[in-house]
Every structure is written in C-alpha cells, then in structure tokens.
Structure 1
Amino acid sequence: MTYAYKLIDSPVGQLKLVAKGECLAAILWEHDKPDRVRLGEMSEANELAVLVETARQLHEYFAGTRQAFDLPLDFHGTEFQKQVWRALLTIPFGQTRSYSEIAQQIGNVNAVRAVGAANGRNPISIVAPCHRVIGASGELTGFAGGLANKMLLLSLEAGQTSLEAAADHAQRRAPERGAAQAVKDDAPAKPAHRQPSRGTQGSLFGS
C-alpha cells in the first residue's frame, strides 16, 4: 500500500505527516535522516481525513490546549520496537521517564541501550512522545528532532504560558548540539511534578 503524506509548518519546523490507509504511520522532522524511519513510496494527500485530523490535533497541542492525542496509529517495526513505542504512549503529559524505567516497564531490565535505539527509531514523533524519555541524570540525550526542539516540547508541557516562552526557555537551556548522543546512564530519573493527564491515546499497531 502506498503511503500518503501532508506537510505542515509548526513551531518545531516543517513536519511530514504520513498515513497508511486510515491510520497515522509517521511524523517526520524537517531534517530527519532519510534512513531513520523506512517507509514505502509516498504520494501527497493534503485532504486525507487522518492527516487533516492529525494536523488539527498538533495545532491544539502547540497552542497549549491539548494534552493527549486521539488518533489511530499504525506502527511498523520489530516486536521489541513496538513494545518500546507502546510504552511511550503511557508516559503522561508533563512527565518524563528514563531509558531504564522504560526497560523495566516492558519487562527487560537489561535492554536499556536497546530501548534507547528503539526510542530513536520512533516513527510517530510528538504523538508517541519519545521527547519525554531522558537520561537517568536528567540529561536530555539525543533526539531526532534536535535537542533544542526536545527542550521546547518539554518546556511547553511543563506549563510555559506561551510557545514563545517555551522557545526562549529552550534557547537559554539547550543550545542545539545535534541529534546523535549516546545514552549514558540507566538509573531511574525523577518524574516531573505535573499530574498525569486524564486524556486517552488511541492506537492500532500494525505488523
């Protein structure tokens, strides 16, 4: 099946929304590495319902009026990767988890580095919040969208009054150092102080 895509502008750069059938299959960054998420042939489909709805919910998220996404998702990867990506969907808005906490959650405490690798291959950025996974010491570590964007998303979720304030905070706290940085620690990180969102996350996992 051919993938369909829609490009949207956002505060974290241009995003490429990708659908397979009636499900969201990927959200790719403007400067994403071509081989990070492997997808098939694509055709532009700006009016496809799932892509239009994804764009609407992302706009609400960036505006600070949405804390949870409600979209049909179609993840394609190995069974281990899908376990990690499912775990990402359980991290509440405004909170973070360490790589070791994700490894414990999926029942494989020795797979910390493998969790980091799967996290880096997460195809549905933002909606499956890989930006909420940080190093055990609180270090941001690597991020496909860039560390400045990771800090911006975390700052936005931490209760900044505006996206402009979050962006300014990100510039002061996390200058861009590139997306590739090794996972250094595996001790549990302290969760953020925000209470979990009560929103739900719809998902459909493909093979």
Structure 2
Amino acid sequence: MARWEPLLDELVRERRRALLARAVMLTGSQADAEDLLQDALVATFGSRARFSSVAAAEQYVRRAIVTRSIDAARSRASERRAVDRLGGMASATVELPLVGLERDLVAALQSLTARERACVVLRHVEDLSVAETAATLGLSAGAVKRYTADGIARLNAVLGTTGPQADDREPVAVVGAPKGEARA
C-alpha cells in the first residue's frame, strides 16, 4: 500500500459529502459533480504531492475542484462556439436529480460565468473569506470582490430577488464635508 492511500481513504470517508456538494454547486449536476470530484482526487493524489494531514489534502482537492470546473466551462464554451460555426446542433443533456440542494439555486448558478460561480460558491456556500477565496483561485482580492458582486447581482436578477436597498445603508461621513452632512 502506498503512503498516500490511507490519507486518501480518510479524506474520502470524512469529507466526500462536503466536496461533492461543492462540486454540485459548481457543475449543476450530480453526475458531473461526481466526475469532477474524481478528477480532482486523481489529480491531487496522482501528482506525488505529500500532505501532512487530511485538512491539507482537502484544501488541495478543493482548489483542484474549482480549477477543473473553470477549465471544463471553458472547454464547453469552446465546443459550443465550434458547433455553432459548423451549424450543428448541441447534444441534449439529461437532467439528473440533485441530492439535498435547492434546484433553483443550482440552476441559477449555471447562469454565471465560471469565475463568478466559483467566487460565489466559495464566499457564500463554503463561507471562505475574500483572502482565502483569492488564494484558492489564484486571484487578487479585488477580483474576488468584483466576481462575487457581479455573480450575486446576476443571481438576484435570475431568481427575482434583490440585494440590500440604498435605504438600508449606513450614512458615511464625507471627509472635508461641512458638519452634519453625510453620504448614503
């Protein structure tokens, strides 16, 4: 038995459901999510990487899931453009039942770009900080904030919900403004 096998077994036993849930949120399909998780596990443990703990291995797998999801979205977009140029028809997709996730949210997430979806899932589903999300995706903190804001705005439009109203914001004092003046 290789040195990494017990760590892989423990990771799958303890964290498979959480990793699979993340993959479903990114792909929108249970079957695609299972394939994505499998690819991420193979990439992680097939790269001869050494991990000191399950947590370290899990972090690597989480990043591999997001990276492979973005790569797959790019590939699908390229394939669609090629099919459109050739005048062919895209093959029909089969919808499989999702386990324990809101169908509307998963469907709405599919309307986002791959990076928007990754940022929204990492920030609001995985509850990572901006810095953690930036490190996971290899982006700047500003890019994470922008992709997240754009993604949330698009989700609100698709789901028919609204974000915070202007009236809900706290007034901010403007430096150099006369006393008593504030900007919302």
- Shared fold, TM over 0.5: no
| TM-score, structure 2 normalization | 0.29
In terms of fraction of residues, the more strand-rich structure is 1
In terms of fraction of residues, the more helix-rich structure is 2
| TM-score, structure 1 normalization | 0.27
Structure with greater Cα Rg: 2
Larger RCO (alpha carbons 8 Å, 6+ apart): 1
